Structure 1
Amino acid sequence: MEYYIIGERELVLAFALVGVKGTYATNRNQALDAFNKVTGKSSLVSAPVSSDIPKVLILTEDISVMIEEEINEWQMQGKFPLIVEIPGLQGKISGKKSLTDSIREAVGIHV
């Protein structure tokens, strides 16, 4: 399974140490350009060959907030890459559900 990360520079560098390619972004335009490149949505770049598309796209929460509408649209299509959000260097954004919270809510387990 191939992974790709879009996030803060330090996290992209850390993931690169274990062989995960990525792009760092500091604003919405950079994040959106990287997202469109990875998903093949960019009109300037031809759609990547299916073997070039990562299976999992890792986004920091900060980046996912910047391009939330595009992410929701992509997820509704049900195509690869699967999008996974992780906390950034500053930790979890308050008020944002964690993956564990979402699973507990979906399954109906409340502890």
Structure 2
Amino acid sequence: MNYFVIGEREIVLGFNLAGVQGKPVSNRQEALDAFNLHTGQVNDMRASVESERPKVLIVTEDVADMLAEEIQVWQMKGKSPLIVEIPGLNGHIPGRKTLTDSIREAVGINV
């Protein structure tokens, strides 16, 4: 499976050590550019062909907050890549649903 991570520099570095490519971002425009590139929403020489695009796009909660509207629209389309939010450097943002919570709600069992 092909993964790509968008988040803080330290998070991306950690994923790189595990063999997952990523793009460090520090503001909304950088995050939006990376998101659009890796979801295939831009016509750019750097844009990957559909078969090379990630199947799972991992974004930190901070990046997800910056791109909330774009992510929601993308998820409603039901297209690949699947977008997964993870806690950032400062940990889980209070009040946000974790991946485990979402699975628990969907399946009805504890994971």
TM over 0.5: yes
The total of aligned residue pairs comes to: 109
**Structure 2: how far apart are the matches of 1:103 and 1:15?**
23
Q: Corresponding residue for 2:91? A: 91
Q: CA deviation at 1:66?
A: 0.3
What is the TM-score when the length of structure 1 is the normalising length?
0.89
Gaps of 5+ in 1: none
Q: Which amino acid aligns with 2:24?
A: Y
Q: TM-score, normalised by structure 2?
A: 0.89
Please give the root-mean-square deviation of Cα atoms over the aligned residues, in Å.
1.7
Match in the other structure for 1:48 = 48
1:34 has 2:49 as partner: no
| Aligned-partner Cα distance in 1 for 2:88–2:22 | 14
Please name the residue that 2:18 is paired with.
18
Contact 2:40 2:50 in 1 (8 A): no
Output the amino acid matched with 1:39: T
Aligned counterpart, 2:80 = 80
Identity %: 62
Deviation digits for residues 35-60 of structure 1 (CA, Å, limit 9, x no counterpart):
001011124x1653122111000000
